[in-house]
Amino acid sequence: MSVPARIVIVGGGFAGVAAARALRSLRKGERAEITLVSRQNFMLFTPMLPEAAVGSIELQHIMQPLRAELRVNGGTRRGSHFELGDAIGVDLERRTVSVRHPLTHDVRLIEYDELVLALGATDSTMGVPGVERFTVPLKTIGDAEIVRSRVIGALEVTAKTNDLLERDRLSRFVVVGGNFTGVELAGELQAFLHSILRYYPGIDPASVEVVVVESSDRLLGHLPEKFGKYAASVLRKRGTRLVLGREVNAVDPHGVELKDGERIESATVIWAAGVAPSPLAKQLGIKTNEHGAIETGGDFAVAGTPHVWAVGDCAAVPRPQGGTYAPLAQNAIREGKLLAANIRARLGGKPTKNFRYSELGQMASLGHRNAVVELPGGRMLTGALAWFAWRTYYLGRLPGWNRRTRVALDWTLALAFPPETARLPLVDKGESSFEDIHASSR
């Protein structure tokens, strides 16, 4: 009997999980042991983070436990394993990965025959001073909790202070970045504030402001221009201030300084200005390009590094017409599926295939039951119908009927009941916490 091929996947995001799903459905006669390594024991459905940040969706409902993902009928799927840990080293000659457990800090070696790097991406500070200390990103479950905590905390302090300058700073919420995450968060935040200000009679709703700062001259730069114009029109009508074509020079406890010298005073600055490939590839000793992405062939094989593959946001996968594929969830999912087929082909001595994919279109929620959707041929769908299409599409992409049912119930309840205004003070700690920033600004 042949020895099963040992396939190790580092990363539990869209690409890594898609590859694991495809690999575990091996045909009769094919044998492999699949080990999925991730620093979290769940996969986060990031397209719904803006809604989760304002409480429209329960956070745990967009988290798919990875151990459950690798289980069937109450038992572990044969040949599938999950390893909680951080990859801290790769020995390419011995074909081993060093994994450190985040709780016990024990380190163990995992041997592989084929290694898949699906490391994802991290937020990029763009080299702007103060971003790490004084802003909140929106990339993780913890970030979503902190965003909500910051917003409610700012309103609570605004309601009690008589200092007009302080009230002005506290009641302004700045989102830096005008692409999908920034636009969706601004729309959801505007709707959230509109719903809860009734509980703060001491705050004039007209004094509360959401500001979007974007370095380019329009929103949603990855879509045709008319999409950005529509999003801008909708947000402006609701009172959102758009600062377009201007770059951030620095962030401090008092707010944002633009490169032209203007200041925007704010106690809550959310950073959604860009992402960069995970720095873990460099730390593991894998060669990367000038942007920090792992260069691969069209079949995801890492050039000059046998038995190593890379997919998803950490990989620079070449497009047939030039350039590389964008770091989008739809690309990552399909890359993971083809990667599994290519590994099976390589193990069977057959040729691999290059990735070719045309994006199906993109969409962005604008809050208040409005959205903008790109249809085939560059056509645009807007309004309530686009909002329904956005929700239907992403609901169908959630892993498992249990997640879909729970999110559908969340959405239904949100239509009938106002959002919660309870604040969890324990989620926002450290030098950049709301309490410390507020204290240092006084």
Q: Dump strand ranges (E) for 60-171.
A: 63-65, 71-72, 75-76, 80-84, 86-91, 96-100, 107-111, 114-117, 121-123, 136-137
The reported pLDDT for the residue numbered 439 is 56
Q: Hey, what are 375's tokens?
A: 């249809």
Instruction: Indicate whether 304 pLDDT > 90.
Output: no
- Helix, coil or strand: residue 346: helix
Tokens of 85: 């840990």
Mean pLDDT, the chain, whole residue set = 89
With a cut of 80, say whether residue 435 has pLDDT above it: no
Q: Which domains does the chain have, with CATH numbers?
A: 5-39+85-123+276-347 (3.50.50.60), 131-273+421-440 (3.50.50.100)
Closest CA to 376 of 386, 364, 361: 361
SS3 for 356-406 is CCCCCCCEEEEECCEEEEEEHHHEEEEHHHHHHHHHHHHHHHCCCHHHHHH
Looking at residue 53, its pLDDT comes to 92
Which amino acid, 157?
V
Cα–Cα nearest to 57, from 423, 416, 410, 368: 410
Mean pLDDT throughout 93-100?
Answer: 96
Distance CA 105, CA 395 (A): 37
Kindly report the pTM of this predicted structure.
Answer: 0.89
Q: How confident is the model at residue 330 (pLDDT cuts 50, 70, 90)?
A: confident
- Where is average pLDDT lowest: 66-75, 280-289, 345-354? 66-75
Residue 247 has pLDDT above 90, yes or no: yes
Whether 430 has a pLDDT exceeding 70, the answer reads no
* pLDDT (0 to 100) of residue 207: 95
Pairs from 376-384 (Cβ < 8 Å, separation ≥ 24): 378/224, 380/224, 380/226, 380/227, 380/230, 382/230
In angstroms, rounded to a whole number, what is the distance separating the alpha carbons of residues 78 and 304? 32
Q: What is the pLDDT of residues 352-368, one digit of tens each?
A: 999 998 777 888 999 88
CB atoms within 10 A of CB 94: 9
pLDDT of residue 1: 44
The number of residues making up the chain comes to 442
